[in-house]
């Protein structure tokens, strides 16, 4: 259950937060305009998407001003019980394992192992879905590495 100050913060600071993000994304777009074509691809795409999403959120807030929120996703965790903390700790452990395997075996194999292991063990996702998501992410990372000419960190084990 939310306290009064949490309710006040979530209702009063939504618009200033979105405006702040809009300003930051606009600054990022402005600064990246002078970069070389390869270097400005990522900030332009992310900044453009960020500006667009911020404008959509401001439009949503303007259209629903004064109305009571139908769903409030800021309180999904329920009460502060041990199960919630245990699940958060488990997700944090999986993330730490991903970062360690990233250093030990490299980015692409670690991503595949993490996605399949996490989705299979924590969310009981079918094998074909896990493998499809892992393959898609590996292809996306590999493509991003080619386009941006990234030099991936050398794995420690080979």
Domain positions in the chain are 4-74, 81-148
Round the average pLDDT of the chain to a whole number and report it: 87
Predicted local confidence at residue 136, as pLDDT: 96
Q: What is the pLDDT of residue 2?
A: 57
Phi, psi of 65 (to 5 degrees): -60, 135
% of the chain surpassing 90 pLDDT: 58
- C-alpha angle 148-149-151 in degrees, rounded to nearest 5: 120
Summarize the confidence of residues 122-146 as an average pLDDT.
94
CB atoms within 10 A of CB 36: 7
Please tell me the predicted confidence (pLDDT) of residue 149: 87
Mean pLDDT computed over 79-90: 79
Q: Is the pLDDT of residue 58 over 70?
A: yes
% the chain with pLDDT above 70: 88
User: Rounded to an integer, what distance in angstroms lies between the CA atom of residue 39 and that of residue 35?
Assistant: 6
- Per-residue pLDDT band for 7 (boundaries 50, 70, 90) equals confident
C-alpha span between 63 and 72 (Å, rounded): 17
DSSP-assigned letter for residue 124: -
Q: pTM of the entire structure?
A: 0.56
Contacts of range 146-149, beta carbons closer than 8 Å, 24 or more positions apart: 147/38, 147/41, 148/38, 148/41, 148/42, 149/38
């Amino acid at each position: 259950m939310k306290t009064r100050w949490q309710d006040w913060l979530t209702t009063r600071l939504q618009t200033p937060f979105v405006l702040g993000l809009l300003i930051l994304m606009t600054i990022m777009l402005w600064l990246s305009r002078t970069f070389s074509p390869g270097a400005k691809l990522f900030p332009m795409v992310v900044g453009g998407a960020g500006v667009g999403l911020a404008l959509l959120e401001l439009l949503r807030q303007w259209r629903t001003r004064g109305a009571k929120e139908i769903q409030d996703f800021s309180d999904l965790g329920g009460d502060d019980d041990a199960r919630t903390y245990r699940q958060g700790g488990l997700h944090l452990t999986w993330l730490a394992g991903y970062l360690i395997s990233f250093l030990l075996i490299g980015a692409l194999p670690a991503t595949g192992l993490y996605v399949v292991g996490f989705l299979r063990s924590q969310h009981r996702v079918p094998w074909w879905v896990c493998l499809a998501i892992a393959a898609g992410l590996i292809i996306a990372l590999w493509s991003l590495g080619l386009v941006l000419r990234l030099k991936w960190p050398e794995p420690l084990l080979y």
